[in-house]
Structure formats: structure tokens, C-alpha cells
Amino acid sequence: MTITRETVKKVAHLARIEIKDDEETQFADELNKIVAWIEQLNEVNTSNVEPLDHAVSYSLRMREDSPESNNHASDILKNAQETVLDFFSVPKVVE
Amino acid sequence: MSKQSELCTLTIASAKEKLLKGEITSVELTEAHLKQMDAQKHLNAFITPTPELALQQAKESDKRYQKNEAKLLDGMPIGVKDLFCTKDTRTTAGSHILENFVPPYESGVTSKLWSNGALMVGKTNMDEFAMGSANITSYFGSVKNPWRKKGSNTPENLVPGGSSGGSAAAVAGNMCLASLGSDTGGSIRQPAAFCGLVGLLPTYGRCSRYGMVAFASSLDQAGPLTKTVEDAALLFQGIAGFDPKDSTSADVPLPNFQKALTGNIKGMRIGIPKEYRLDGMPQRIEKLWQEGIDWLKDAGAEIVDVSLPHTKYALPCYYIIAPAEASSNLARYDGVRFGHRAEGKTLNEMYAKTRGEGFGREVKRRILIGTYVLSSGYYDAYYVKALRIRKLIRDDFMKVYEKVDALLTPSTPNPAFEIGQKMDDPLSMYLNDAFTVTVNLAGLPGLSIPAGFTDDELPLGLQIIGKPFDEGTILNIGSVIEKSSGFLEKARLIRGN
Amino acid sequence: MKLVEGKTGSWEVVIGLEVHAQIISNTKLFSGAPTGFGAEPNAQVSFVDAAFPGMLPVLNRVCVEQAVRTGLGLNAEINLTSVFERKNYFYQDLPAGYQISQYLHPIVGKGQLKIELADGETKMIGITRLHLEQDAGKSLHDQHPNRTYIDLNRAGVALMEIVSEPDIRSPEEAGAYVRKLRSIMRYIGSCDGNMEQGNLRCDVNISVRRPGAELGTRCEIKNVNSVRFVMQSIDYEVQRQIEVIESGGSIAQETRLFDPTLGTTRTMRTKEDAHDYRYFPDPDLLPLRLTEDFVAQQKAKLPELPDQKKERFVKQYNLPSYDADFLTAERELANFYEEAAKDVDGKLAANWVMGDFSAAMNKSGGLDKVQVTAKSLNALVKLIGNGTISGRMAKDVFIDMLETGKDPESIVNEKGMVQVSDTASIEKLIDDVLVQNQDKVAEYRSGKDKLFGFFVGQTMKASQGKANPQLLNELLLKKLQ
Ligand SMILES: [Mg+2]
Ligand SMILES: [Zn+2]
């Protein structure tokens, strides 16, 4: 068992996903199976292999520094559940 | 045949001909498909039908036909996977968390569709955030495959495949002429195979990802699901091309794909990768593969046995990379700016409850896995390891492409299965994509072409994998298989239309 | 080496700075939303900045150019290949749930920066790296008893994070470092250095150790937004750490906040609840590859930078090092000086720029707010140089210039303020003064040298301040013998 309920709890907190107590064990089981399965990758010697994060070889393009004309607070805000005076609003954060 | 079913069994190519000749109007064509959508509601292929929009677009299209200004896809009723943001039309990605999201913008590929004259009959159902291979993870319910086993008297009860299951069912159920899907690990090709359709995964970078709800950004591509290869070429032509709003979009010329369908593959070298012969694969699929080889040989192609030695590692590699990217891509669904929000006393409680309620089980599982493989202490062992394997997988392909022009494999290791099967074990569900994920990892184009049937008359597909930006070649090879297999005629007989 | 004395002996302070500098650009790092200051809330936010579904980042060329030029200004290596990575964490002002930053492969590598200290010494501070990243939005915590409001106008604005080596040893050095860095960026035009608007923020890493010992555990003070606060926060933090250790405790690695009203720091986040950022290459972006040509073009666009300018000023204008530092700290002032010093004595011009003119500048709040132009100051210095007016008279003329904006020649003409340099008339004035103060003359001659100043003053007064002071001195000395 590499993934305990504690691990699930920790990872779920990192991902900000509420998980019920009874789900913790289930997720731990499933994640263990998946992790055990992906560990077959260790059969492959990759010591001289460069990691490949994209299958394309072209370079990143750059755009010109010219502003978009259409910026409306209303477009940005209209899908939000809670807004006040053109601000998004969330439970108070204490710093 | 009634006018209704006549209109609904047209292809893009044949409908275009009739529209150009004035034999039918786009409004007629659209109304017929909308009617069929109503009749096939029980398949649950659509999350949001858009009949008013479709009819309005159809009217405009008819005007263009009258003025002889018809465009490439003018008047074609298309289903759009609910992963593509459509301006002022709800876009859910099959998730509770986006249940009420109405994008104020239009995705890159749908923008191209509309400017090519196509029209949208609705947003099709899908696995939540495109995570799934059976279309059973949608918040809006499972989609049913319009195909039934021979002699079955029960209502439809097979999965359409996933994650573009709604898009596949909508076309196979004649509710639209063609549809748009997305493919991260097989999500176009596998449902195409399960539903007897042509499904194309374009080369990574060929179609814009702008406005497409991201699952795994380095793997996601949009592509067509159609009834024929010719339609696939047409629809693909209508959505492909460079988009400056997507930094991974390739600035390369766009050939004419319809012209590539010469049917001539003489002298072409087709590789047969031995690693795709899985233990326990149904005999019928092995046999279909051999039939495919024979058809290509008969058409003058040279068959070459090749090896892609790292194939077996593709699936575990994929199940590290895709969840890792997804865990980050889905962090934006936090209840603040759009989407579902649950109340919480603190910000963190609000986040956790929102995401706990808003995401389904499979999505949570993948976010947890993805978060885990990126977390401190595991990053090198899992994530970087997977990236190194990804390199080996791509190198395998590039090496065989020195000898061959394309590869032929089965599309899936199994045909469509019953809803409810494989549900309890995520790993056995993941195996559905064993033949397709390799292609996404390598950023190559792949085509699934319906080519035969199981003993109980369910469709089976063959996959053709091409070189980067060589979709024309695999579409052309696909057209040979389409002809040699006689699939379309047999399918018509089986389904009685 | 500067050491701090504790109760149990001396301590060495080790400081490294991370500076976040907002890049001057029209639009954000990865979106076309404008960057101007002071807009209505959420009015400068694109769908990319607000991380709407399906939105994708596209890199701003100008931000890359600014970073490269700044890197060149810090004598740093430019990495031709760099990679954007995601730094993942949840926060209300971070819409995507990750910040696009650079981690393993920054755009700029090792460099160095020379600082000047009050005692005239200079010191090299190593630069570890400079990378590009997005700024976050702004949270307002004081508008509602139980809500926090969020404005995303700043979200996605381009920042350069400039990380120094732990080479800094005192608050003074830290202040000098920030000022010099700001000066270089202002010369280049890559950052306006406005710390009040938050366009330049410092994270200060501090630890203490016995001289020459292993590095101590460090604390990071986040987001300090003025040079004075940087120095204050270090002063406080050093004392705190020494006290903790000397009273038998140990320093916990943590993130702290500086309270400007109290002048203290306090715990913000301990190591236990430190984030696990899960950095990984951003899959929406490809590696950035720059060409040698691109870098050469940026190099060609660099202006003369403070160090080079200072060296030139010392040679060309014959200035002491201190003056040259002062005059080259800001590009505008350096340009002003060069115009003011044209064809006149460089040191004299420097005295005027650094003295009366700087005082006026501080009073009115900026170089461009002072009525005196470089050209008119140059004219004033010329009038002194050619003996038309005395330095003393020039002070009065300068006050007039400040008030009226007139050029010094017209002021001198209008007021008839021409200096008297003719021997006969000055001798006449001296004779009068001596006659009227015979008692003092006697005292002086009997050894009370200090009275010389009195005679100078009286004679100058009698000349209504117009007497050539040098000539006056010589003649007076002769007469009093
Ligand atoms: Mg930092
Ligand atoms: Zn930073």
C-alpha cells in the first residue's frame, strides 16, 4: 500500500476536493491499483532519454503587444454566482 | 423510404449535391434531423439541442444557395460535442460544475464551421470533461449506442464509446449529418469504431484548441465523426488550420483533403505493428485486421511487419500524463468566476465543497491521481518518467516511418459493450484505449474506419496511423478500406435503412 | 565585514532578495488586456486572465524583449531556450489555480550588479536568475465584514522576478541593491520602479550565522514595498533572530509579513503549511527559443547604463565618484546634468544640480515640475564662470528663476545684478568700511584673525552683493596688512 487514507486526504486537500470519509478508503484502493499498474514503467530503462512534454518541435510564437479593444467587466462577471460592485466576491480571507 | 429517413441518411457530400441542384433546402434537411432528434431522445445523445439556432442558420444558408454563394459545408446540420465553447449557447463539458455556463465566446473550430456555412443542431453529450471511454460519466446521463446486437429485443443498451459518445450516437442515429468530437486518448476513434462511423484524430496542432474545454492540453485535438471518409475529409477541411490564439497550433499549409482521396495506394508501404496483437483479443478483431491487410495488399500496397516496442507502456504513460495535466487544467473550476458554487464558511471550504459536488467520481479520481504524480517527492518517479517513456513511444513511430507511409491496427481491442459492464474497475475501462493512446502521445494523426462486424452484427473499426500532418494519406487509405470492406452497404442492410 | 553584536558575540547577516518588477508593456504577458493603472474593477480583464474554460495563453513579444534587455543590463547570460511552467496553488486572486512562471529553465541566468555604499566602496552582488511570470489579482479584505472582493485587473500582468545570491550583508547593502536594480530597469525602460503602486516588490530572505559558519535557517519576508521598509524589516528581523538564538531557541523556516506601522515582522505561514506547488511544464505553451540575432538586437537597443555613465562622467566632467553616482542614478537627472554642464566647469555644474536644483526638485516632486530648465541652469553656471555674477548672486538669481521661469541673463539685466570686478571701486568700498570700523581694524591687527569675515561681509553689503568675492578678498587682505 503506497496510498493510504492519509495520502488521499492530503492529495484531496491539495486539489481542494471534499471527500467523504467512506469515499477515502475507496479512493485509496482505486488509486493503489492504478499506481501499482503505472509502476510497470519502471521496467524501462530511461536513463538516457530526454523527457518529451509535447510531440511538436516548433518554438513558441510571440504576439505583438497591441491591446484588445473589447474588455467589458460585465462579460467577465456575468457567469459568476456572486459579484458586488463589479468585484468577484468570496468568503472572507484572513491574511 | 420516407422523405424523412431519406434526408437523414444522406451524407455531407450527397446532401451538398442535392442542395446545389435545388432538390432539397437546408431548412428541409434541418427539420428532418431535428425531428429525428426528437424521435431518438431516449439515446440521450444531446445535452442541449439548439433547434431555433439551427433553423435560423438553415434559412441563411438557403439564401446563400439561392445566390450561388454556398460555402464548403453550407447548410449541413452538425452536432457539436459539448466541450467546444459556443457563444451564447450553454457549454457544460458533461459536468455539473459547468451546468449553467454560457460562454461569451466561440471556439476556434466552431468559428471555422460556421464561417464555412455549417449549422448546429445541438451540443452533444459526452463523458464528463472527456474522461471516459463509454459515455457513462456524464452528469447528464449515459448515452446509448443506436446499434443493437443481432436479434436483441430489448431497448438500446450498449455504450457508444467515449468520450465523444453523444457525437457518435447522434451521427449513427441519423440526428445530424456529422459531428465534432475531441480525442485525447481515443475519444473520437473509439466511439467511431463502436458506432460504425469514420473518426479522425488530426495531427496535434492541426486544429485549434482555442475555446475547447481542456482535458489534457498536450494531447487534446478536435476532429470529425462522419458516416463516410469523404465526409471526414470535408468536415476536417472545414475545421482545420492555423489559429494564432492557440500557441500550440501549427502554422503549416492546409492541403485539399478531398483531392487526396484518389483511391490509389499502389506502392504505398503500410506497416503492421506486431505489438498491437494483444493476448485475449477477440478472434473476430484479429480476423478483421487480417482482412484489412488483404484489402490493402489487393489494392497494391506493400505490407511491412514493423515493431513499436514501447507500445505496452503507452497506457500507463498516458494515465500519468493526462491526469497530471487535467489536475491543473481543472483547477479553474473553483466556483468564483463561473460554474457551480457551494457555500462554505471559509474560502477553502467553499472550494472543496464546490469541487466535491461539482465533479463526478471519474473526474475526481483522475484529479487525485494527477495531483499525486505531480506532488513533491513523486514528480520525477512518475511524471518525468512518463515523459521519458513518451519520448520513446514517439521515437518508435518516427523510426518506423523511415520505412513505411502509414500503419494499420485495430481501432479497439473490443466491440461496444453493455452499459453497466466494466463500471466497477477503472483499469479494465482504461484498456479500451490501448490502441489509440499511443497516437495522441506521439502527436500523430489517426483514422478509425468502420470495416466489419462481430458475429452479432456490431460494428468494428480499423485504425490507420499516419505521419505528422499527413492526414491526406490516411484518409485515402481509409477510402480504400471503406470500398473494399463494403461496410456501408452491409450496415444499411443490418440497420434496415 | 559588517557584523552585528549580540549578547554572546558577533553575528553575520546573510540576505538574498527576490524582486518582483512589473514589466512596462501595453498588454499582459499572455493576453491582450491592457495594463494601465487605476481602471475600474475587472475592466482590464480578458477571458484568458480570468481563466475561462478553453482560453489559451499567447506570449507577448515585448515582455520577452524587456526581460532580455534587463538581463543584458545585469550582465547576465540569456538562455536561448526557456520553459514556462505552472505553479499550482489555490488562491482567490489566482483565477486558473496556477501561475504561469518559469522554474527549471528561466529566460535569464547568472549575472551581477554593482552597488555603491556610503563609504565610497563598491560591492558586486550576484544575480541568480531572472524569470518571467504572471502577476495575481487584487483582493480587498476591508470592504465587507465577511466577504473578500476580487479585482482581476492586475491578474496576468507581466512580472520579472529577479533573484539575488545571498551576497547581501546589511540593510544598507540591501537598500543600495534595490535602488541600483531599480535604476537599471528605469534606464532600460523595462520597469518604472514605482513601489507605491506595487510595481516593484521585494521578498527578503534573511538568516544570521556566526562569522564564517554554515548558513543559518532563513525566514522570508514577503512583499515589502519600499526601500525604507526593506531596510527596516531587515533591522527588525536580524534582531529578532539573534535574540531567539541567543536565548537558546532556534529559527523556524517560515514566511513572514512586515508591518510598516509597527516596524515589525510576524509569521504568515510556517514550513508545515508551505505549499506543494507541483511545478510542471505548461502544456499550453511550447519551449521559447530565441536566436542569437534576437539577443543581439536587444543588446543594440540598450542605452548607456548607470555604471558606464558614471565612469564617463568621472572622466569627462572631472567629477568625484560620489557626484557621478548621484547624478547617474536616474537617467533623466543624468541627461539634465549633461545639458547643464555643457561648456562650463563640470564640478560647478554638478554642485548646482546636486544642491539647489535637487532641493527644488524634492520640494516640487519631480524634475519636470521644476521651472528651471537644464539650458537655463547651464546659462547660470556660465554667468558665474565668466565672472558676470558671483556665486552668491547666483543663489538669488536661481530663486528668481524658480519662481518666474525666466532665463538668468534677463534676471541679471533687469536687476542690474552685474558683478563689480573693477579694482578701484572695490578699493573705495573697502576704504569706507575700514574707516567706519577703526576699532575692529585695530583688534584684527592685534591678532583677532576671525574678524576678516566681518570685513568681507560689510564690504559685500556695501556693494549690494555685487562685488567679485575673490577680488574683494585679495584687496581686503592687502589693505589690512
Ligand atoms: Mg519567489
Ligand atoms: Zn514570483
E strand or H helix at B442: helix B437-442
Q: Is a pLDDT exceeding 90 seen at residue C312?
A: yes
Give the pLDDT mean for C8-15: 94
pTM exceeds 0.90, yes or no: yes
Nearest-neighbour CA in chain B from C324: distance (Å): 47
Read off the pLDDT of each residue in A44-61 and give the average, rounded to a whole number: 94
Residue of B nearest to C97 (CA): B331
Ligand 1 centre and the CA of B190: distance in Å? 45
Q: What is chain A's mean pLDDT, rounded?
A: 92
* B218 among known catalytic residues: no
Which pLDDT does position C1 carry in this prediction?
Answer: 58
Contact status, residue B203 vs residue B443, Cβ threshold 8 Å: yes
Average pLDDT over residues B199-227: 98
Position A95 scores a pLDDT of 66
Contact B369 A31 (CB under 8 A): yes
- C18 CA to middle of ligand 1, Å? 6
Residue B413: pLDDT band with limits 50, 70, 90? very high
pLDDT above 80 (res B426): no
* B positions 215-274 inside 8 Å of A (CB): 218, 244, 247-248, 250-251
Asked if the Cβ–Cβ distance from B371 to C278 is below 8 Å, we say yes
Distance C103 CA to ligand 2 centre (A): 10
B375 with A11: CB under 8 angstroms? yes
Residues of C in contact with B107 (CB under 8 A): 54
Give A62's contacts in chain B (Cβ within 8 Å): none
Residues of C in contact with B212 (CB under 8 A): 54
Residues A38, A39, A40, A45: is their CA dihedral positive or negative?
positive
What is the Cα B146 distance to its own chain's centre? 16
pLDDT for the residue numbered C211? 92
Could you report the per-residue pLDDT of C190-239, keeping only the tens digit for each? Answer: 999 999 889 999 999 999 999 989 999 999 999 999 999 999 999 999 99
Tally A–B CB contacts below 8 A: 161
Q: Does A41 touch chain C (CB under 8 A)?
A: no
**Is the CB of B346 inside 8 Å of chain A's CB atoms?**
yes
Choose among C16, C298, C35: nearest CA to C167.
Answer: C16
- Which top CATH class is C423-480? mainly alpha
- What is the longest distance spanned by two Cα atoms in chain A? 58
What residues does CATH 1.10.10.410 cover in chain C?
Answer: 423-480
Segment C254-308, tens digit of pLDDT: 999 999 999 999 998 887 777 899 999 999 999 999 999 999 999 999 999 999 9
Residue C296 φ/ψ region, left for φ over 0, alpha for ψ in the -120 to 50 degree band, beta for the rest:
alpha
- Bigger pLDDT: B65 vs C260: B65
Interface membership of B338 toward C (CB under 8 Å): yes
Q: Band of the pLDDT at C467, cuts 50, 70, 90?
A: confident
* Pick from C145, C88, A30, C404: nearest CA to B424: A30
- Ligand 2 centroid – CA C133 distance (Å): 7
Is B339 touching A (CB cutoff 8 A)? yes
Nearest CA to C107 out of C76, C136, C135 is that of C76
Smallest Cα distance from C90 to chain A, Å: 8
Judging contacts by C-beta atoms under 8 Å, the chain B residues touching residue C90 are 331, 334, 348, 351
Task: Report which of C23, C6, C118 is spatially closest to residue C63, judged by C-alpha positions.
Answer: C23
**Chain A to chain C Cβ contacts (< 8 Å):** 122
Q: What is the mean pLDDT of residues B291-318?
A: 97
Rg of chain B (C-alpha set):
21
> According to the model, what pLDDT value does residue C461 have?
83
All three cell numbers of A73, joined, read 467587466
pLDDT at B4: 86
Q: What is the pLDDT of residue C410?
A: 85
Selecting from A59, A86, A89 the residue whose C-beta is nearest the C-beta of C289 gives A59
Furthest CA-CA distance within chain B: 70
pLDDT at A1: 55
Residues of C in contact with B94 (CB under 8 A): none
- Average pLDDT over chain C, rounded to an integer: 92
The pLDDT tens digits of the residues spanning B244-288 come to 999 999 999 999 999 999 999 999 999 999 999 988 889 999 999
CATH number of B3-266+470-495: 3.90.1300.10
The predicted pLDDT at position B1 comes to 66
Bridge partners of B12, per DSSP, are none
Output the CA torsion sign for C403, C409, C414, C415.
positive
Q: How far apart are CA C324 and CA C346, in angstroms?
A: 11
Catalytic residue among B16, B81, B123, B422: B81
Is there a contact between A49 and B344 if contact means CB atoms under 8 Å apart?
no
Which single residue is written with the C-alpha cell 475545421?
A: B239
Closest residue in B to A44 (Cα–Cα): B389
The string of pLDDT tens digits covering residues C83-121 is 999 999 999 999 999 999 999 999 999 999 999 888 878
Nearest to A76 by CA among C156, C63, C319: C156
Q: How many CB atoms lie within 10 A of CB C369?
A: 10
pLDDT interval class at B128 (50, 70, 90):
very high
* Residues contacting B422, CB < 8 A, separation 6+: B134, B428, B429
C44 interfaces chain A, CB cutoff of 8 Å: yes
Distance (Å) from CA C20 to ligand 2 centroid = 6
Q: For residue range A63-72, list pLDDT tens digits in order.
A: 999 998 766 7
Closest approach of chain B CAs to the CA of C153, in angstroms? 14
* B367 or C468, greater pLDDT: B367
* Chain A contact set for B247 (CB, 8 A): 60-61
> Is the pLDDT higher at C451 or at A62?
A62
Q: How far apart are CA C237 and CA C229, in angstroms?
A: 12
> Out of A14, A73, A85, whose CB is closest to C43?
A73
Grade residue C429 by pLDDT with cuts at 50, 70 and 90.
confident
B248: chain C residues, CB-CB within 8 Å: 284-286
**Residue B17 C-beta-side C-alpha neighbours within 13 Å:** 6
Provide the grid cell at A60: 513558441
pLDDT at A74: 86
Q: Do C88 and B328 touch (CB under 8 A)?
A: yes
Instruction: Give the residue from chain C lying closest to A57, CA to CA.
Output: C286
Chain C neighbors (3+ CB pairs < 8 Å): A, B
- Is residue C445 scored above 90 in pLDDT? no
B163 annotated active-site: yes
- DSSP output for B291-312: HHHHHHHHTTPEEEEE--TTGG
Domain boundaries, chain B: 3-266+470-495
Of residues B418 and C389, more confidently modeled = B418
Residues 10-49 of A with CB under 8 A from B: 11-19, 27, 30-31, 33-35, 37-44, 46, 49
pLDDT at C415: 77
Chains in contact with A, where contact means 3 or more Cβ–Cβ distances below 8 Å, are B, C
Angle between helical axes of B12-21 and B26-39 (0-180°, round to 10): 140
Buried/exposed code over B411-431 (b: 16+ C-beta within 10 A; e: otherwise): bbbbbbbebeebeeebeebbb
pLDDT at C368: 86
Closest ligand (CA of C16): 1
Distance from the Cα of A65 to chain C's closest Cα (Å) equals 6
Q: Is residue B107 annotated as a catalytic residue, yes or no?
A: no
- Interface probe for A, chosen from B247, B372, B393 (most Cβ of A below 10 Å), is B372
Interface check for A88 against chain B (CB to CB < 8 A): the answer is yes
Among the listed ranges B59-63, B252-256, B349-353, C398-402, which one has the minimum average pLDDT value?
Answer: C398-402
> pLDDT of C27-78, one tens digit each?
999 999 999 888 899 999 999 999 999 999 999 999 999 999 999 999 999 9
- The interface predicted TM-score (ipTM) is 0.97
User: Mind spelling out the 3-state secondary structure of chain C?
Assistant: CCEEECCCCEEEEEEEEEEEEECCCCECCCCCCECCCCCCCCCCCCCCCCCCCCCCCCEEHHHHHHHHHHHHHCCCCECCEECEEEEECCCCCCCCCEEEEECCCCCECCEEEEEECCCCCEEEEEEEEEEEEECCCEEECCCCCCEEEEECCCCCCEEEEEEECCCECCHHHHHHHHHHHHHHHHHHCCCCCCCCCCCEEEEEEEEEECCCCCCCCCEEEEEECCHHHHHHHHHHHHHHHHHHHHCCCCCCCEEEEEECCCCEEEEEEECCCCCCCCCEECCCCCCEECCHHHHHHHHHCCCCCHHHHHHHHHHHCCCCHHHHHHHHCCHHHHHHHHHHCCCCCHHHHHHHHHHHHHHHHHHHCCHHHCCCCHHHHHHHHHHHHCCCCCHHHHHHHHHHHHHHCCCHHHHHHHCCCCCECCHHHHHHHHHHHHHHCHHHHHHHHCCCHHHHHHHHHHHHHHCCCCECHHHHHHHHHHHHC
Q: How confident is the model over B4-23, as a mean pLDDT?
A: 96
